[in-house]
Structure 1
Amino acid sequence: MIPFTVLTATAAPLIRDNIDTDAIIPSREMKSTGKTGLADGLFSAWRYLSPGGRDPDPAFVLNQPAYADARILLGGVNFGCGSSREHAVWALAEYGIRAVIAPSFAPIFAGNCTRNGIVPVVLPADAIAGIAAHGGAVTVDLPAQRVSLADGRAWPFDIGAEAKAMLLEGLDAIDLTFKHRADIAAFQAADRKARPWIYLGETKA
């Protein structure tokens, strides 16, 4: 996973409440269990003129020239609600989105973001409206936990210590567990002495 530190990029305003995972990646676009091949299906019901088609709807924000290089998405309340499908985050990541800023997130979606290199930033709705109205580049500074604009306006945001560490170091859940290899090995050695019968079938190295 690519580490996230500081990103300055265009932010596309998709400020709708309750954007669910089926809107982010409709089930008909999920043709594999892998993390790739999903970007074209991102927001396909809104992004294209017809279901299953690929003719861009010029009214949709991501199809507008001003947001062609957007790597930050501005959303509404309860972003990522609905099913727990991780494909929604995979589609965003493959498209190039590295941060989503919203007043609140569905908890499972937020967890999927941190495990796939996307920063879920919680800011008040009025702050997001101000960012959208600004229209220029937005900076998401994860070490400082701050979102800022070129005009000097800035907003702090909270993020859990574990989620922050995963994003800064580019770790997934397995990588995070491997950071405790020494503790795991020490526990196993002690447990092997305390309960040797558990390990009777184990092949010695």
Structure 2
Amino acid sequence: MYIADRYENTDRKDIENFIAENSFGILVNQTEGKLWATHIPLELDLNEKGEQVLYGHISKENPQWKGFAENDQVLAIFSGPHAYISSSWYDFENVPTWNYSAVHIYGTVKIIDGQAEIAHLTKLVDKYEAHSENPVSVGKFSKKTMMQTRGIVTFEIAIQQIQAVRKLSQNRDEKNFNSIITELEKLSDPNAKAVAADMRKCPFSK
């Protein structure tokens, strides 16, 4: 994706945290001669070789996985909070814009099964059950329930390139930067408040 220099995020730890917090992503590839996209959780983890990869799974009824064999190049997209920025909040005339954060990961995909698949599913369920009052776990599922894994295709994405953007009004002076935060915090939209919070943490702010 195109990223203006001032908005590029190269902080690897920050990117990893962003993916963990916004892990419901979009997997894009070419399937049956056209672009195909699926909305699924994608987890950043280490494989058995100690390499950082993305893990995910899709329904076997979803034809997207059949495209993995034809072309193993995929794109994973992660989106964070975003908000409209009114130019009425500036002390000068300009056009409105949009603030947002996103990460694109390009890589090669391969299907996994066996213990690697179970390990992925176990970590995924444990992550999202952590705050449940009565958490379930893959290890306690019956054989009958586990048979449902036959209906999914689990995959691993070897990471080739990471692109990350944090467009948070870093091109504004301190007065206008803080004015944007104030106006966003007045709104009832949770996205606007989240963008304001991101701006307060932005390393480019003064």
TM-score computed with the length of structure 1 as normaliser = 0.21
TM-score computed with the length of structure 2 as normaliser = 0.21
Whose strand fraction is larger, Structure 1's or Structure 2's? 2
